[in-house]
Amino acid sequence: MKHFIFLMLAGLSFNTFAHTQSGVLAVPVSTVDYYYVDCGSDPSSVSLYFHIASSAAAGMPLVSAQVIKDNYASNFTDPINGDAGWSRDQVIYGGNGLYSISVNKNGAGVVSYSFEAHCYDSSGEHTDSENIIQVN
């Protein structure tokens, strides 16, 4: 019964938590959008999958994101604005808990973006975590 409930929740989470977050960075180069991705609500979560894409026009600043967990940080940049491609993607094995995401750009101008973040367990299965919290 216990396993059945877990599988039901797991199946629900697969359908519900395909998390994509969109945002718009304002003109100043100092602007950063800051998020938490919660991989802690499911104790089995051990990693976070992440990538980001910019929908800005060519010639606009490049959009980057930094994923931070404890003493680890990594940068993700979409090298081409406005195309269908994403930044590199990476599974970050930072363990259970909150992952911080900061989104910045390398110049002044309004740019829009979206990123995907998914929490996984040790066997590579999607967990029912990854609630995205916008900090600022």
Partner 1 sequence: MQKMAQKLVLPFIFFSVFESAFALDSGTQSLGELDGATDYFKITCAGNTDHLDFQLFESAATVLNTPLAKPTLIPPQILNATLTKLKLTAKASGIAAGINKDVTLKGGNGSYTFTLDTIGTNLTLKTAQTYSVQYQCLNTTGKVTVGSSTLTKSGIASISKTLANSRTVKYLFNCAKDKINGNTDSLKITVINKTPIAKTVVTTTVTTDPIAAPISSGNLAAQVIKGHVAMNTIGDILNVHDDRSGGDGYYSVMVNSPSNKVQSYHFQYSCLNTSNLEEQTSPFQLLQDQ
Q: Which residue ranges make up the site for partner 1 (CB under 8 A)?
A: 29-34, 61-62, 64, 66, 68, 71-77, 79, 88, 90, 100, 102, 104-107, 135-136
Q: Provide, rounded to whole angstroms, the least separation between the CB of residue 110 and partner 1.
A: 14
Q: Are 89 and 48 in contact (CB under 8 A)?
A: no
Tell me whether residue 44 or residue 74 sits nearer to partner 1 (CB atom): 74
**Helix (H) or strand (E) segment spanning residue 80:** none
The neighbour count for residue 95, using CB atoms within 10 Å, is: 15
Complex with partner 1: residue 10 or 98, whichever CB lies closer: 98
Q: How far apart are CA 74 and CA 68, in angstroms?
A: 7
Quote the least distance from Cβ 71 to partner 1, whole Å.
4
Cβ nearer to partner 1, comparing 10 with 32? 32
Closest approach of Cβ 115 to partner 1, in Å? Answer: 14
Could you give the CA distance from residue 63 to residue 33 in angstroms, rounded to a whole number? 11
Q: Which residues make beta-bridge pairs with 24?
A: 112
SS3 for 15? Answer: helix
Distance CA 39, CA 47 (A): 8
Q: Which is nearer to partner 1, 10 or 29 (CB)?
A: 29
Shortest distance (Å) from residue 52 CB to partner 1: 11
